[in-house]
Chain A
């Protein structure tokens, strides 16, 4: 269907709010007519909040008076009004729906469900809800929808999502693997198929979404997620900047019983003081650790652990798919960090994968680039992710279904 439509997409991070206005006109790819990002919105951060705005080639930075997602969104809506940009739909990223819905229009009924889902992501979910409420108040006539980050993983089969725990507890609490970064995986899967001019069917992809905060890996077969490293929450899986990744579940019981740790403190320790930061005792930023690798043993160990956990998941996913066609690196670390990519792809000849070190080093970050050697049967691609575009895309599908 060809029609003209403007969609405003909000993407809430824990301390940031990204927005983009996509304008679709006929069959062409959409134009971004206005975009920006608010920073420093988390209470516990000591940096003062500000917002960057990009419009018609102009770049503007403004201070914000409060650390609030809601306030940042109000300012964005005001700026849209000043520039006379009329929005037709607003899309939001939602993190976790406990398998209840994927992409859906927001109504009172859904709002109630969203409120019930707050405990799954107590930092992100309230912030998103506040932005939704602000939009409903200021632009009551504009329909809003959400796209769920765990939605792409709804195709994971039971053997991969089941935790071997008593059934009554599993039912009561919904304990199972959900997985996250789904919006990003959907985007890079489509982008990879476009780049390779390949159909999704028959293609075996391992995609690594390596972010500055959270990271995960997914196994994508025939365009569908069949397993991923994150679980019931985003704590588990890979070693991350401040999160533990996989640990023995009995550790917490041991530490609380023998060393008197309080559950809240330990949870905080595992989520905010662990990972690269906990091991290195220096920084949660992988670039800092790479810079210190020759002089500081702890930084070196942290990096080794990061690579080790990633290699394990890649091997697992190759094995359950019985082979591999394509390895994708995305998000900040995946796109910008040649060192990690080189280490991860070392000694992978067993699955017919070989990296071209020179191409890897010279890869540019704003377009898909191929970094495997010529004789590698497995392609290795760097694909910058575009979550906002994917949320726009999902919205378009929803709207088209609606218009029909």
Chain B
């Protein structure tokens, strides 16, 4: 039996899987958190392993996956500042469970680990070096997905896919460029706000805007709130919104405009990454319930036909994998139906 924990402030999302039986939920991380879980499974001794998601592991956690020990807590604590709301929850969850069940395997899934070794030209910002020493760099994100997508493709195609662009579509759509299994750039930067606009985050904007807002008397806390919670699809639509909501009403006037901006941003990054990779062999689209993004994926691909990409007639459905490129296509196209829990459970199974 595997217990997986994922911080979703103010809650911890959890999943318990035992062979094919799965229970999921979310709880506050209070003193009775452990008893809530015990109540679900009867006996705590049934748990064989616990997995945790850490959203930003800074320079401390340099791989997607690692086994935690008692020394890890200090490193985890040092990462809290990088993403306080999320990292604090992960840190506390690990403290509680490692103390309670020191005999089982505790695995850390770090979402930035895959990107710790980005080449300097991609990881650094062109700011004074003194700021880099304060931890200012591109950390990336969704490394758990991109790393998995990359490994999956490697097994699936066996060869000839050295230059990969991995597109994660969802709440916080983002893209990674991967060469010979190693990421060379990604859209998420110091925070997940940089890159492509998300449900509530602004994506790339001129940084001068922050100063301009502040000069009119808006406090940093409020600026933070504007850029991370009131922007993106929500800002464009002028009401609480998301990619899924926009897609459901894609012919609406504002929705179609927002989608056009979104797709444009994705295409710009795909182009940027083709350029730095010097071409592309494979584009992977991944996400939970990928068939919901079928129209979107087809439209993105249709805009890339000039690169020699050719689509086939395959549908994007409920299958785990769909190949949507024709044999004549210069670029392979793969759609992956995957979620974080599945990837994490898979890793436990393979250990």
Whether, in the assembled complex, B1 has its beta carbon less than 8 Å from a beta carbon of chain A, the answer is no
Whether, in the assembled complex, B285 has its beta carbon less than 8 Å from a beta carbon of chain A, the answer is no
Q: Could you say which of B194, B209, B220, B305 contacts A163, with CB atoms under 8 Å apart? A: B209
Whether, in the assembled complex, A232 has its beta carbon less than 8 Å from a beta carbon of chain B, the answer is yes
Taking a contact as CB atoms under 8 Å apart, the answer to whether A319 and B304 are in contact is: yes
List residues 278-328 of chain A with CB under 8 A from any CB of chain B.
Answer: 278-279, 281, 298, 301-302, 304-305, 307-309, 311-320, 322-323
Q: Which of B4-12, B23-31, B262-270 contacts A (4 or more CB under 8 A)?
A: B262-270
List residues 78-98 of chain B with CB under 8 A from any CB of chain A.
Answer: 81
Encoded as 1 (CB less than 8 Å from any A CB) or 0, chain B from 261 to 304 comes to 10110011111111110111000000000000000000000011
Taking a contact as CB atoms under 8 Å apart, the answer to whether A350 and B205 are in contact is: no
Taking a contact as CB atoms under 8 Å apart, the answer to whether B227 and A315 are in contact is: no
The contact sample of 24 A-B pairs, CB cut-off 8 A, is A162-B261, A164-B231, A165-B235, A166-B226, A231-B205, A232-B208, A235-B207, A247-B127, A248-B191, A248-B194, A249-B206, A249-B207, A251-B207, A254-B136, A256-B220, A270-B207, A274-B126, A279-B129, A281-B128, A308-B121, A312-B275, A316-B275, A318-B271, A319-B274
**Shortest beta-carbon distance, B268 to chain A, in Å?**
4
**Shortest beta-carbon distance, B87 to chain A, in Å?**
14
A312 to B208, CA, bound (A): 21
In the bound complex, residues from chain B placing their C-beta under 8 Å from that of A158 are 257, 260-261
Q: Could you say which of A164, A305, A308 contacts B233, with CB atoms under 8 Å apart? A: A164
- Sample of 15 further A-B pairs with CB below 8 A, known A255-B131, A348-B275: A164-B258, A164-B261, A165-B235, A166-B226, A175-B206, A236-B206, A240-B126, A244-B207, A247-B190, A248-B194, A249-B206, A250-B193, A302-B126, A313-B272, A347-B278
- Most A CB contacts (10 A, CB to CB) among B125, B136, B306 go to B125
In the bound complex, residues from chain A placing their C-beta under 8 Å from that of B128 are 269, 273-274, 278, 281
In the A-B complex, list the 5 residue pairs whose CB atoms are closest, starting with the nearest: A315-B275, A319-B271, A347-B278, A312-B272, A231-B206
Whether, in the assembled complex, B197 has its beta carbon less than 8 Å from a beta carbon of chain A, the answer is yes
Q: Closest residue to A166 on the B side, CB-wise?
A: B235
A320 to B307, CA, bound (A): 12
Q: Closest residue to B234 on the A side, CB-wise?
A: A166
Q: Could you say which of B136, B193, B203, B263 contacts A255, with CB atoms under 8 Å apart? A: B136
A165 to B230, CA, bound (A): 7
A159 to B150, CA, bound (A): 30
Taking a contact as CB atoms under 8 Å apart, the answer to whether A320 and B206 are in contact is: no
Whether, in the assembled complex, A169 has its beta carbon less than 8 Å from a beta carbon of chain B, the answer is yes
- Number of residues from A at the complex interface, CB < 8 A: 74
**Shortest beta-carbon distance, A213 to chain B, in Å?**
14
Q: Which of A13-21, A92-100, A257-265, A386-394 contacts B (4 or more CB under 8 A)?
A: A257-265
Taking a contact as CB atoms under 8 Å apart, the answer to whether B220 and A253 are in contact is: yes
In the bound complex, residues from chain A placing their C-beta under 8 Å from that of B348 are none
In the bound complex, residues from chain B placing their C-beta under 8 Å from that of A276 are 126
Residues of B within 8 A of A (CB): 81, 119-122, 124-129, 131, 134, 136, 138, 185, 189-191, 193-194, 197, 202-215, 220, 223-224, 226-228, 230-233, 235-236, 238, 257-258, 260-261, 263-264, 267-276, 278-280, 303-307
Taking a contact as CB atoms under 8 Å apart, the answer to whether B226 and A259 are in contact is: no
Taking a contact as CB atoms under 8 Å apart, the answer to whether A304 and B120 are in contact is: yes
Given contacts A164-B197, A247-B189, A263-B215, contact A315 B274 (CB under 8 A): yes
- Most A CB contacts (10 A, CB to CB) among B193, B215, B260, B261 go to B261
A162 to B237, CA, bound (A): 13
In the bound complex, residues from chain B placing their C-beta under 8 Å from that of A235 are 206-208
Whether, in the assembled complex, A142 has its beta carbon less than 8 Å from a beta carbon of chain B, the answer is no
Q: Could you say which of B238, B264, B271 contacts A166, with CB atoms under 8 Å apart? A: B238
In the bound complex, residues from chain B placing their C-beta under 8 Å from that of A173 are 209, 212-213
**Shortest beta-carbon distance, A360 to chain B, in Å?**
18
Q: Could you say which of A159, A164, A233 contacts B232, with CB atoms under 8 Å apart? A: A164
A127 to B230, CA, bound (A): 38
**Shortest beta-carbon distance, A299 to chain B, in Å?**
12
In the bound complex, residues from chain A placing their C-beta under 8 Å from that of B212 are 173, 175
Q: Could you say which of B194, B232, B271, B307 contacts A317, with CB atoms under 8 Å apart? A: B271
Q: Could you say which of A159, A248, A311, A312 contacts B125, with CB atoms under 8 Å apart? A: A248
Taking a contact as CB atoms under 8 Å apart, the answer to whether A314 and B275 are in contact is: yes
**Shortest beta-carbon distance, B223 to chain A, in Å?**
6
In the bound complex, residues from chain A placing their C-beta under 8 Å from that of B131 are 255, 269
Q: Could you say which of A243, A269, A314, A319 contacts B270, with CB atoms under 8 Å apart? A: A319
Taking a contact as CB atoms under 8 Å apart, the answer to whether B203 and A164 are in contact is: yes
- Most B CB contacts (10 A, CB to CB) among A250, A308, A323 go to A250
A275 to B129, CA, bound (A): 10
Taking a contact as CB atoms under 8 Å apart, the answer to whether A254 and B197 are in contact is: no
A162 to B267, CA, bound (A): 15
Taking a contact as CB atoms under 8 Å apart, the answer to whether A236 and B208 are in contact is: yes
Q: Closest residue to B270 on the A side, CB-wise?
A: A319
Taking a contact as CB atoms under 8 Å apart, the answer to whether A275 and B306 are in contact is: no
Taking a contact as CB atoms under 8 Å apart, the answer to whether A305 and B227 are in contact is: no
Whether, in the assembled complex, A267 has its beta carbon less than 8 Å from a beta carbon of chain B, the answer is yes
List residues 343-374 of chain A with CB under 8 A from any CB of chain B.
Answer: 346-350
Whether, in the assembled complex, A160 has its beta carbon less than 8 Å from a beta carbon of chain B, the answer is yes
Taking a contact as CB atoms under 8 Å apart, the answer to whether A315 and B189 are in contact is: no
